[in-house]
Amino acid sequence: MSSMPPVIDSKFITGEELLEMGDIGHCELVEGKILPLAYADVKQGHLVTKVACTLEDFVEPRNLGWVMTGEVGVFYQTRTG
């Protein structure tokens, strides 16, 4: 039994193409594949808030960057080659 959710589309998709699709539901792009995501439950949401607040208390006074949670649309890898 696989722990990975089913792939929505087998064609390689770029981040720009996913953005152009508009709102297609709760998903993420992993190695060119669109994967559906489950929504967070209350326990997970509370934990994320606690971790983010603690991290923000460290990051902010040191001007180390931003702490973000939720669906902010961050690209962390690009395709090369």
Please check the confidence at residue 28 and state whether its pLDDT lies above 90: no
pLDDT, one tens digit per residue, over 39-67 is 889 999 999 999 999 999 999 999 999 99
Instruction: Give the chain's mean pLDDT.
Output: 82
Cβ pair 18, 34 in contact under 8 A: yes
Location of structure tokens 């080659």 = 81
Q: Given this model, what pLDDT does residue 23 score? A: 87
Residues 65, 16: Cα–Cα separation, whole Å: 25
CA dist 59 to 38, 73, 75, Å?
29, 21, 21
Q: What is the pTM of this model?
A: 0.55
Cβ pair 12, 32 in contact under 8 A: yes
Question: Domain residues of the chain, as ranges?
Answer: 1-38, 40-72
Mean pLDDT throughout 29-39?
88
